[in-house]
Amino acid sequence: MKISVIIPVLQDAKTIHATLEELFLKHDPEEVIVVDGGSTDRTREVASEWTKVLNCPGGGRARQMNAGADAASGDVLLFLFPGTKLPAKGLEKVKHTLAHGAHAGRFRMGFDNPQWFLKLYSSYTRFHFFSNGDEGFFIRRPLFHQMYGFREDVPHEGIDFYRRLRKLIHPVILKDPVITFSGKLPGIQGLKERLIRMFIPIPLRTLF
């Protein structure tokens, strides 16, 4: 079983080196594909020191992840965001989970910062309804193609993808969390907006 790790990036020169360094030195991945959405900083240059980089300007992150999936050669696709680290033996745990009958899933999510609202946010990631895309989604390639990948015409592709996935199968949530650099998040207001996206239908969100 081969896992292809797909990392969509945009203006991530400050975090992509640490992400790839940790991934390659601690997890020994079989394939890593970085997909750049049109960065004007040194993101592509830094990432290319570690692995191949696809150019996919415009169209958003969903398009980047779909392009990475098309270029991948693995049996399993794992989508990891820059500034996020897998737990110890993360790839092995994915393989073990899939070898025992699972078809897709994700990790829980944690942060490198002990602030209370980040702990609160992390606690909700143990629930299926709280799946935003940051948690390291993994999925068997045939199922990903059956779903036609990520929709490129919706504003929050991760939420949409997981909701569609749950209509087909029961994905697995691994107990060990990915750890995200808290500087990648937009603070309390940004987390509030994410909570609204999770719980409130689109037509009602304009009230908040």
Give the rounded percent of residues in the chain with a pLDDT score beyond 90. Answer: 74
Q: What is the pLDDT of residues 38-72, one digit of tens each?
A: 999 999 999 999 999 999 988 899 999 999 999 99
137, 161, 141, 142: which is closest to 150 by C-alpha? 161
Instruction: List, edge to edge, every strand of the sheet that includes 31-36.
Output: 52-55, 31-36, 3-9, 76-79, 138-140, 104-111, 172-180, 84-85
pTM of the predicted model as reported, rounded to 2 decimal places: 0.87
Q: What is the pLDDT of residues 77-103, one digit of tens each?
A: 999 999 999 999 999 999 999 999 999
Q: What is the DSSP string of 150-164?
A: S-SSSS-HHHHHHHH
In the chain, the amino acid numbered 131 is S
Which of helix, strand or coil describes residue 25? helix
**99-112 average pLDDT score:** 94
**196-201 average pLDDT score:** 55
Q: How confident is the model at residue 114 (pLDDT cuts 50, 70, 90)?
A: confident
> Domain containing 99 — which CATH number?
3.90.550.10
Q: What is the DSSP string of 148-208?
A: TSS-SSSS-HHHHHHHHHHTT---EEEEEEEEE-GGGS-HHHHHHHHHHHHHS-GGGGGG-
- Could you give the C-alpha distances from 116 to 35, 102, 113, 187, 194, in angstroms and in order? 33, 33, 9, 12, 16
105, 121, 107: which is closest to 185 by C-alpha? 121
User: What domain range is 85 assigned to?
Assistant: 3-207
* Total of domains in the chain: 1
Q: How confident is the model at residue 174 (pLDDT cuts 50, 70, 90)?
A: very high
Cα 96 from Cα 178, distance rounded (Å): 17
